[in-house]
Amino acid sequence: MTSSRRNFFWSSLTGLGASVGASLVGRAALAQDPQPQTSAPTQQGYTPVRTLNGVTLPYEMKDGVKEFHLTAEEFEHEFAPGSVAKCWGYNGRTPGPTIEAVEGDRLRILVTNNLKEHTSIHWHGILLPSGMDGVGGLSQPHIQPGETFAYEFTLRQHGTHMYHPHADEMVQMAVGMMGMFIIHPKNGEPKSIDRDYVILMHNWALHPGTYRPDPAVMQDFDLWTFNSKVFPAIEHMVARTNERIRIRVGNLSMWNHPFHLHGHQFHVTGGDGGRWPEAQWRSEVTEIIGVGQTRDIEFVGIPGDWAVHCHMSHHTMNAMGHEIPNTLGVNQAEAMQKVSALLPGYMAMGENGMAEHQDHSGHMKGPKNTLPMMMGKGPFGNLEMGGMFTVIKIRDDQPTGDYSDPGWYKNPQGTVAYKVSGPKRPSKAAPVDHSKMDHSQMDHSQMDHSQH
Amino acid sequence: MTFLYRLTITSALALSLGACATVDQKAAFDGVRTTIGARVNQDLIWRHDTATDAEVAAKVDALLANEIALESAVQIALFNNRALQARYAEIGIANADLVAAGLLSNPVLDIMVRPTTNPASGANLEFGLAQSVLDIFMRPARKRAAQADFDRAQGEVASAVINTVAEVREAYVEALGARNSLRVVEEVYAAADASRDMAAAFHSAGNISDLQWAEEQALTEDTAALVDDAKLKAVETAEALAALLNVDASALKLPQQLPALPQSDPSIANAETTALEKRLDVAAKRKAVTARLETLRLKTSWRLWHEAGLAVSAERDGDKQWAIGPTLSLSLPIFDQGGPEVARAAAEVLQAENELKNLESHVRADVRTALAKVETARRQAERYNKTILPLKQDILRLKQERYNFMLIGVFDVLVAKRDETSAYMNYVNTVRAYWLARAELANAIGGAPIETPSTANGEKQ
């Protein structure tokens, strides 16, 4: 108990924690069920999935039926420290808890609607009776506010699937209602999986300075998320060298995302349509996850710190203006004389590129509730990333089943890119006095993801 | 001889009545001076001789040595405005008329010499001394009418002074408003100018098109044209004020900004009644009514008697005997019994009375309008000062925050700066409207002095 209270405390402090857990009583409960730091195969023989920054939905066995309970509701969600919003989701979180079951299981999923409008849940990609498909008005009556509906069906497949509302879908998805639905094969994996990660991609029109996602936006989104978090608040993945790692990626955003893994060639081994026969596996380093699709990628871990991200470069940025004048190569020095007199505190930026922005955003105030465009620090400096970016840390000595943070990779001697020539770097002097900056919020290295 | 004796008495009486023939212009002017002093709380001096002229010139120079506040501009005008000095002379004219009205018409001496053919008898001589009797009896009434005329003249001059006071106040507010606006327009231009410099940097880096660059330059030049307009307006209004003060515009030390709004507006109890009591045009119109009533009374009492003469005549005929005897000449009211004259006087009374009522109605409307203008201008000025300007400053700050996070560009921030300054321009206009309304109100209630706070409106809250 002491330990879990401590975990909660940590989670709240870092703001990155699984601060809200699954609730069987149908309301957002505070601080329970942060993901354990270690895991082992279950009684049914599968390696439980690990939803980055998320949780797996607990169930109760009732007369041989696995009974789950999802409550649709509004709550405050944090995308990263410094940016929160009123979102909708399940059991106090977005994405909702991952439903995890085994082919052949009979499930009863209770859905309570605590929203102020009706809803429904569609079990995306799952084979089930038409009346359980969750399309409001087509498959079933809508679930009105205050009502609880039961969905009950037997799993006849395995694979990576999703769930989301099919009632006022545009709005309800835009504000965060979605989740992953993982079905393990009943006869076990042909190649056993050591680490099984779950990522659900989404986009958000959380306009700078606002506190509620705007459902009307179709293309010009502000935040691009893995499991409703942006870098550097996205938990990193961890594995031991030579472990077989699977990342299951779903996409309920409005864009296709080229999901890219550094340092490995992976196999695409399945999708919403189930696991592919090994002959169909493709070797890739980037796999486009289309809107409404899921893909499983599998690979054997190679030691190092490897970036994992969407390859749309704007999707690894946080909110920025897309109609700003292009400052590249613009020497503002002369104009500054007049501008400074009018706008005290104005700083000319962007002449030589935008990288300086990460440092400036530490001491130059931005709009409320708005994350700097680029963030994150690594062992060698600023990462200048945001949005759909995280790191997988693979170590020779990471204990099996241990998900705790091993720290930055210690590169073997002679295996880091090195400077050959160029002017001597000033010892500590930087072009701008950054001494007063508070980078702690953005320092990825100081974020403790081990508590999730 | 008894008659001669009586004639002597009559003549002496007439002379004594007419003896006060000196004209005291200073006393006549003091009336206006007191009237104005009680309303405007400023001194009035008629520069009627070189000594006074020099004394007043020194006072004007002393006032010009300092920065000119609203009421000191008024004082300078009262001392120095030559149109006013010209009007002061009208009082002298009316005063002379008044004195003249107090005098009897002079007696008329007739001398007739008729030489005869008879040398023994000598010339036939005839002397006559005639005095209009009616003149004597009508004198008090005539003097009352002349007094009313004098009062009216005095009132009209005082009224002209009050009007000049109002013009000076308006010109002062306009001049300061224009100076104030010029400063703000120059700030607006500074924002546009900075934006152009910035655009030049973007253009020479190849990052904005010729089109955008041309647009940016055109905008800046448009703003420069506004600065020219504002400069001219500042010159025009300063010259207009200087002209009213009859000084050189270069001699005027004007503040850069309009005075701030006072904490509260003056509370004027029964403003409409006050106006009717204090307004000099109303007083003048009332006196016109009185004067016409007097004329009517006079015409009515003496309607039958247009002329009445009393005379004494002495005659020496051929027998060289003097014959002396009184003569009475009287116009007989047979054809003209004075009816038309009375009717005319009565119509003139009606005319004056209706003009008075009409004026009173306008005065009330003026007062109510001026009060509404003061109230509205205050509300608007306070809205700008306490709400709109802080909001514009917030907007600018928030835009800068957006710039910091690369959500918008520098040009958008400069536009926000320009907007903030433009809002300040609107605020200056409301302050100007407020002081104009205060001047209008002061004038509407008879010229009351206006107290201006020593702080300028630029001290943002």
- At A447 the pLDDT is 47
Looking at residues B39-48, what average pLDDT do you find? 84
Position B292 in a domain = yes
The DSSP-derived string for A78-130 is: EEETTEEEEEEEETTBSSPPBEEEETT-EEEEEEEE-SSS-B--EEET----G
Stretch among A234-243, B21-30, B183-192, B376-385 having the lowest mean pLDDT: B21-30
| Tokens of residue A57, six digits | 């939905």
Q: Which chain B residues are Cβ-neighbours of A334 within 8 angstroms?
A: 197, 200-201
CA angle, B350 as apex, B349 and B352 as ends, to 5°? 65
B193 in contact with chain A, both atoms CB, cutoff 8 A = yes
- What's the structural domain count of chain B? 1
| Tokens of residue B52, six digits | 């006074």
| Tokens of residue A200, six digits | 């659900």
Task: For residue B449, say if its preceding peptide bond is cis, omega within 30 degrees of 0.
Answer: no
Position B84 in a domain = yes
A317 in contact with chain B, both atoms CB, cutoff 8 A = no
Position A109 in a domain = yes
User: B408 CA to chain A: closest CA distance, Å?
Assistant: 5
- At B147 the pLDDT is 80
Question: Are B205 and A328 in contact (CB < 8 Å)?
Answer: yes
In angstroms, the CA A10 to CA A6 distance is 6
- At A34 the pLDDT is 61
- At A9 the pLDDT is 34
- At A94 the pLDDT is 97
Question: Which residue, chain included where needed, has tokens 């949005």?
Answer: A387
Is B13 a residue whose pLDDT tops 60?
Answer: no
- Residue that wins the pLDDT comparison between A118 and A356: A118
Position B382 in a domain = yes
B194 in contact with chain A, both atoms CB, cutoff 8 A = yes
pLDDT digits over A333-358, tens only? 999 989 999 998 898 888 998 888 88
B211 in contact with chain A, both atoms CB, cutoff 8 A = no
Number of alpha carbons in the 13 Å side-chain half-sphere of residue A431 = 9
Looking at residues A149-161, what average pLDDT do you find? 97
Calculate what percentage of chain A has a pLDDT beyond 90.
Answer: 73
Task: For residue A232, say if its preceding peptide bond is cis, omega within 30 degrees of 0.
Answer: yes
Is B118 a residue whose pLDDT tops 70?
Answer: yes
CA angle, B169 as apex, B166 and B174 as ends, to 5°? 125
Question: Which residue, chain included where needed, has tokens 């701030």?
Answer: B260
Q: Which chain B residues are Cβ-neighbours of A319 within 8 angstroms?
A: 405, 407
Looking at residues A378-398, what average pLDDT do you find? 96
Looking at residues A163-182, what average pLDDT do you find? 97
ipTM: 0.80
The pLDDT confidence band at residue B142, using thresholds 50, 70 and 90, is confident
- At A368 the pLDDT is 94
Q: Which chain B residues are Cβ-neighbours of A330 within 8 angstroms?
A: 201-202, 205, 207
- At B30 the pLDDT is 85
- Write down the mean pLDDT value for chain A: 87
Number of alpha carbons in the 13 Å side-chain half-sphere of residue B96 = 4
- At B363 the pLDDT is 94
Domain CATH for A27: 2.60.40.420
In DSSP terms, B429 is beta-bridged to none
Position B453 in a domain = no
The pLDDT confidence band at residue A5, using thresholds 50, 70 and 90, is very low
Calculate what percentage of chain B has a pLDDT beyond 70.
Answer: 93
Position A354 in a domain = no
Question: Are B405 and A335 in contact (CB < 8 Å)?
Answer: no
Structural element, H or E, at residue B9: helix B2-18
Domain CATH for B22: 1.20.1600.10
Question: Are B410 and A346 in contact (CB < 8 Å)?
Answer: yes
Q: Which chain A residues are Cβ-neighbours of B197 within 8 angstroms?
A: 334-335, 337-339
- At B12 the pLDDT is 52
- Restricting to B residues 399-418, those with a Cβ less than 8 Å away from any Cβ of A are 400-411, 413-414, 417
- Residue that wins the pLDDT comparison between B373 and A9: B373
Looking at residues B148-174, what average pLDDT do you find? 86
User: A145 CA to chain B: closest CA distance, Å?
Assistant: 38
In angstroms, the CA A79 to CA A208 distance is 13
Looking at residues A77-84, what average pLDDT do you find? 96
Q: At what angle do helices B280-301 and B339-383 cross, to 10 degrees?
A: 170
Question: Are A209 and B194 in contact (CB < 8 Å)?
Answer: no
Looking at residues B399-409, what average pLDDT do you find? 93
- What's the structural domain count of chain A? 1
- At A428 the pLDDT is 56
Domain enclosing residue B437, as ranges = 2-444
- At A432 the pLDDT is 47
Looking at residues B190-209, what average pLDDT do you find? 94
The pLDDT confidence band at residue A1, using thresholds 50, 70 and 90, is very low
Q: For residues B43 and B37, is the Cβ–Cβ distance under 8 A?
A: yes
Position A155 in a domain = yes
Looking at residues A51-74, what average pLDDT do you find? 97
The pLDDT confidence band at residue B5, using thresholds 50, 70 and 90, is low
Q: For residues B36 and B43, is the Cβ–Cβ distance under 8 A?
A: no
User: B456 CA to chain A: closest CA distance, Å?
Assistant: 22
Domain enclosing residue A175, as ranges = 2-313
Could you tell me which residues come within 8 angstroms of residue A77 by beta carbon, excluding any fewer than 6 positions away?
A: A84, A85, A86, A87, A89, A93, A94, A176, A228
In B243-393, the DSSP E strands lie at 308-316, 322-330
Of residues A55, A62, A16, A18, the one with CA closest to residue A39? A55
Q: For residues B330 and B288, is the Cβ–Cβ distance under 8 A?
A: no
In DSSP terms, A61 is beta-bridged to A66
- Restricting to A residues 337-356, those with a Cβ less than 8 Å away from any Cβ of B are 337-339, 341-343, 345-350, 354
Q: Out of A332, A337, A367, name the one closest to residue B405 (CB).
A: A367
- At A237 the pLDDT is 97
Stretch among A150-154, A436-440, B176-180 having the lowest mean pLDDT: A436-440
Q: For residues A180 and A51, is the Cβ–Cβ distance under 8 A?
A: yes
Q: Which chain A residues are Cβ-neighbours of B223 within 8 angstroms?
A: none
Of residues A373, A370, A395, the one with CA closest to residue A384? A373
Q: For residues A133 and A122, is the Cβ–Cβ distance under 8 A?
A: yes
User: A342 CA to chain B: closest CA distance, Å?
Assistant: 7
| Tokens of residue B118, six digits | 């008879």
- Residue that wins the pLDDT comparison between B111 and B412: B412
Position A408 in a domain = no
pLDDT digits over A15-43, tens only? 333 333 332 333 333 333 467 777 777 77
In angstroms, the CA A450 to CA A92 distance is 21
Q: Out of B190, B197, B407, name the one closest to residue A321 (CB).
A: B407
Position A410 in a domain = no
DSSP symbol at B385 = I
Stretch among A18-27, A164-173, A420-429, B69-78 having the lowest mean pLDDT: A18-27
The pLDDT confidence band at residue A229, using thresholds 50, 70 and 90, is very high
pLDDT digits over B225-235, tens only? 999 999 999 99
B192 in contact with chain A, both atoms CB, cutoff 8 A = no
Q: Which chain A residues are Cβ-neighbours of B194 within 8 angstroms?
A: 335, 338-339, 341-342
Neighbours of B334 (CB within 10 A): 7
Instruction: Tell me which of A207, A330, A363 to substitute to probe the interface with B (most B C-beta atoms closer than 10 Å).
Output: A330
The pLDDT confidence band at residue A317, using thresholds 50, 70 and 90, is very high
Position A337 in a domain = no
- At B10 the pLDDT is 53
B299 φ, ψ (degrees, to nearest 5):
-65, -35
SS3 content of chain A, % helix, strand, coil (to 5): 10, 35, 55
Q: Out of B190, B207, B400, name the one closest to residue A325 (CB).
A: B207
CA B122 to chain centre: 69
A324 in contact with chain B, both atoms CB, cutoff 8 A = yes
Of residues A190, A255, A178, the one with CA closest to residue A224? A255
Question: Are B200 and A335 in contact (CB < 8 Å)?
Answer: yes
Q: For residues A183 and A161, is the Cβ–Cβ distance under 8 A?
A: yes
Is B148 a residue whose pLDDT tops 90?
Answer: no
Q: For residues B165 and B74, is the Cβ–Cβ distance under 8 A?
A: yes
Is A8 a residue whose pLDDT tops 50?
Answer: no
- Pairing mode, strands A65-80 and A106-113: parallel
Burial class (CB in 10 A: 0-12, 13-18, 19+), A104: middle
Stretch among A312-316, A407-411, B325-329 having the lowest mean pLDDT: B325-329
